[in-house]
Amino acid sequence: MTEPLTDQPYSELGLEEEEYLRIRAVLGRRPTATELAMYAVMWSEHCSYKSSRVHLRRLAATARPGAPLLAGMGDNAGVVDVGGGLAVTFKVESHNHPSFVEPYQGAATGVGGIVRDILAMGARPVAVMDSLRFGPADAPDTARVLPGVVGGVAGYGNCLGLPNIGGEVGFDPSYAGNPLVNALCLGVLRHEQLQRAAATGEGNAVVLLGAKTGRDGIGGVSVLASATFVGEEGGAGRGVGRAQLPSVQVGDPFTEKVLVECCLELFAGDLVVGVQDLGGAGLTCALSETSAAGGVGMRVALERVPLREASMAPHEVLVSESQERMLAVVRPAAVAEVLDVCSRWGVPATVVGEVTATERLIVTWHGKTVCDVPPASLADEGPVYERPLSRPADQDLLVADEPTARRLPRPRTGAELQATLLRMLASPELCARSWVTDQYDRYVRGNTALAQPEDAGVVRLDEDSGLGVALALDGNGRFARLDPYAGTQLALAEAWRNVAVTGARPLAVTDCLNFGSPEDPAVMWQFAEAVRGLADGCAALEVPVTGGNVSFYNSTGATAINPTPVVGVLGVLDDVTRRTPMGFATEGETLLLLGATGEEFGGSAWAHVEHGHLGGRPPRVDLAAERLLAQLLFVGSRDGLLSAAHDLSEGGLAQALVESCLRGGRGARVVLPAELDPFVALFAESAARVVVAVAPAAEPRFIGLCVARGVPVTRLGVVGGDALDVEGILRVPLTELRAAYEGTLPGLFG
């Protein structure tokens, strides 16, 4: 292992000097070039969570004893017991920087990566969702990024045969140079099928499954995901730009599809003792994590790895992020059968090494040792930073800038309110997302009971019992900018409510925390507040965080994105046929507003769309009220009292009424509560509110339930007609509402 004693390029690989010195201390010598490349990727922010780890302990603490978890934070994805011998696993991950550099492949491989995480738990992937944020809808670069990202999500997910059941699309100038692409996958497994990403058993074979390894995605986690964008075309130093194109991986969904089917057959035959997906940091990550988790070592003959390009150097093979690969640990007696199954599916499979008892990860290249390190030093013992934090200098000014009636003129007359409604409805902020979601297959596998634009996606897990799950994914960067603690709880509350309106019992949480640079104390303050908010919120709602993802360095130059924690909530439905949809479909049903409305416009869609304003405080968080509301909606669904339910969030009551009318194809006649200013009643964004439709016969009983539980209930009116008619204020035919709502994105993107 002698190499010339020149300076080693640790800085170019993304390592700090103290980190480099630490590697030398761990090894007691200079690292080889290969080892240095391996530490650089494993100790990157993306893989090591070095800036977030001290904060994330708060989230791990939400999984209390007795929580229905078979696996939690630290595993590839959390696994939740849903009864009937079944478990589900779900997780959301970011692929932000690759999606800016190469939108189609960046988004496609984001989907592919999260699907393999779910597969690695032993689960069959059964649905995907995505949370997308772009710059202004009419910005030239959005016309480049958005169609590519949507095409990538569609191209990969559709070809993989996974229904896309929901998510979000958002626009804000803060994402103009740094879009957010967060992909979620849901999987289902029988309890006994749970797989662990641990290598055990001296002499067991280490088998690489799937695609050949190429030069794509080299440095994806270190150079691309763990540094800030410097600007349009990239530049020198640690910043990244479009010049990093070769760091983006290229996806092949067909290979992933057969890899999924092949792995499921291997799991069903009990042919593997451990399995891990290859994602960020590629083979290095999979080899070191499985060895470290099993407390073993490995000896790997790297030249056996099938390559796309014969000229690849060993460090390139070890850090390549080529997609559609899995690593399996297999008993020697089962190797032949594993290779048979792989051959039947046309999946290349190669024994590349074996498990040893040495607790050393030894990699050779044509007989020469290129790596000999303790695997835990790569996987678990990376640096941990307690980064400085400080409240942003402009935070007080921002919060003081309340959207009062004096500061922002409000519509007063009926005509003004109607014009406001139509403008907001047609704004990119609130308009229909069907241009995006109609490119996603929501039907495949035949178990989708609800999908976008419904509040949550609902998937049937068991055809005999009707057991199913509901999933929602929500975030609001503007609320989080005004108050990261409350903003994160509002994201949690909205996802919780979106699951509850379907009639599901919320059970578990995943998160994707998108922030600027952790080296900026203001960003680190936002992050710490967000994590604290999520941890406290989950404790109050008694749901565990089961896993998630942190994405830092979402900045362009010195400007960070709005802090954007995206929260996913999973709920369970004992019988999916009981699900409550959002559309008003039956003439003559009663409309009720549940929850209390206050004059809350800080960070609202109205302030943004009508005034381009961001200031004040976000809506008040009331998790006790959210909890009561969810219980009420669960009972209402179980007892068949609810015909429709729709959560109130961005755009307030006005937006919710329009969406439910258009979804169900019926109008509504509404009388606003006399005690509220009509503008406040229509557009305020107070949390813990839902509008429901109930059959007249069910009304007394349902109102009785509301009163008994202390949920504020207001009779709004009835379903019917072909217009949204708010008495004395506005009346707009559904055809006109539909034209305003549905025309915007097709007009922008073709």
Partner 1 sequence: MPSRVGVVTFPGSLDDVDAQRAVATAGGEPVPLWHGDADLRGVDAVVLPGGFSYGDYLRCGAIARFSPVMGAVSDAARAGMPVLGICNGFQILCESHLLPGALTRNAGLHFVCRDQRLRIENSGTAWTSAYAPGQQIVVPLKSGEGRYVADARTLRELDDAGRVVARYLDSNPNGSLGDIAGVSNAAGNVVGVMPHPEHAIDRLTGPSTDGLGFFASLLAAVVAA
Contact positions vs partner 1 (CB under 8 A): 151, 154-155, 158-161, 252-255, 257-258, 261, 344-346, 437-449, 460, 463, 576-577, 750
Report d(CA 715, CA 121) in Å as an integer. 47
Beta bridge partners of 326: 209, 277
For residue 221, the 8-state DSSP code is I
Find tokens 């070592």 and name the residue. Answer: 297
- Minimum separation from the CB atom of position 618 to partner 1 (A): 35
Q: How far is Cα 582 from Cα 11, in angstroms, rounded to an integer?
A: 53
Q: Which of 629, 631, 632, 511 is nearest to 563 (CA)?
A: 511
Respond yes or no: is residue 55 known to be catalytic. Answer: no
Q: Where are the beta strands (DSSP E) in 95-163?
A: 124-134
Read off the tokens for 358.
């040495």
Nearest distance in Å: CB 209, partner 1: 15
Alpha-carbon torsion, ordered 511, 516, 521, 527, to 10 deg: -10
Q: Please say whether the beta carbons of 278 and 116 come within 8 A.
A: yes
Nearest to 105 by CA among 213, 249, 244, 224: 249
Q: 469, 89 in Cβ contact below 8 A?
A: no
* Closest to partner 1 by CB, 29 or 344: 344
Least CB distance to partner 1 at residue 743 (A): 15
Identify whether 95 is a catalytic site residue: yes
Nearest to 178 by CA among 552, 437, 612: 552
Q: How far is the CB of 435 from partner 1 (least distance, A)?
A: 9
Distances (CA, A) of 124 to 68, 88, 237, 537: 19, 9, 42, 30
The least CB distance from residue 390 to partner 1, in Å, is 46
Nearer to partner 1, 255 or 291 (CB): 255
If we measure between CA atoms, which residue out of 84, 347, 322 comes closest to residue 218?
322
Alpha-carbon gap, residue 606 to 619, rounded angstroms: 13
Of 269, 430, 247, nearest to 345 (Cα)? 269
Closer residue to partner 1 in complex, CB, 253/297: 253
The pair of structure tokens assigned to 90 is 């779900």
Comparing CB distances to partner 1, the nearer of 151 and 733 is 151
CB under 8 Å to 337, separation ≥6 — which residues? 269, 271
Distances (CA, A) of 690 to 312, 495, 606, 637, 731: 57, 13, 19, 14, 22
Least distance from partner 1 to the Cβ atom of residue 147, Å: 9
- How far apart (Å, rounded) are the C-alpha atoms in residues 79 and 90? 7
Q: CB of 223 within 8 A of CB of 14?
A: yes
Whether the link from the prior residue into 563 is cis, omega within 30° of 0, is no
- Active-site residue identified among 95, 315, 608, 613: 95
Q: Which is nearer to partner 1, 163 or 217 (CB)?
A: 163
Sheet (strand 78-83) strand order: 69-71, 78-83, 86-94, 180-190, 124-134, 164-171
Between 51 and 447, name the residue whose CB sits nearer to partner 1: 447
Helix (H, G, I), strand (E, B) or coil at 667: coil
Q: What H or E segment, with its residue span, contains residue 165?
A: strand 164-171
Whether residue 361 contacts residue 372, with contact meaning beta carbons closer than 8 Å, is answered with yes
Nearer to partner 1, 91 or 578 (CB): 578
- Residue 326 burial (10 A CB sphere; 0-12, 13-18, 19+): buried
Cβ of residue 252: shortest distance to partner 1, in angstroms?
A: 7
**Contact between 55 and 527 (Cβ < 8 Å):** yes
Nearest to 127 by CA among 451, 433, 434, 436: 451
Q: Are 99 and 150 in contact (CB under 8 A)?
A: no
Q: How far is the CB of 136 from partner 1 (least distance, A)?
A: 22
Adjacent-strand bridge partners of 714: 593
Q: Is the CB of 24 or the CB of 445 nearer to partner 1?
A: 445
C-alpha of 21 from chain center = 35
CA pair distance 45, 527, nearest whole angstrom: 14
Q: How far apart are CA 525 and CA 389, in angstroms?
A: 5
Question: What is the CB-side half-sphere exposure of residue 217 using CA atoms within 13 A?
Answer: 28
Q: Which is nearer to partner 1, 578 or 689 (CB)?
A: 578
Among 46, 55, 315, 608, the active-site one is 46
Going through 396-467 in order, the beta strands assigned E by DSSP cover: 448-450, 457-460
> In the beta sheet, which residues pair with residue 30?
none
> Dihedral through CA 341, CA 347, CA 350, CA 356, nearest 10?
-70
Rounded to the nearest 10 degrees, the angle between the axes of helix 140-160 and helix 253-268 is 40
Q: What are the backbone dihedrals phi and psi of residue 68, each rounded to the nearest 5 degrees, phi first? A: -80, 60
Least CB distance to partner 1 at residue 127 (A):
12
Nearer to partner 1, 189 or 495 (CB): 189
Residue 128 CB, nearest distance to partner 1 (Å)? Answer: 13
Active site residues: 46, 95
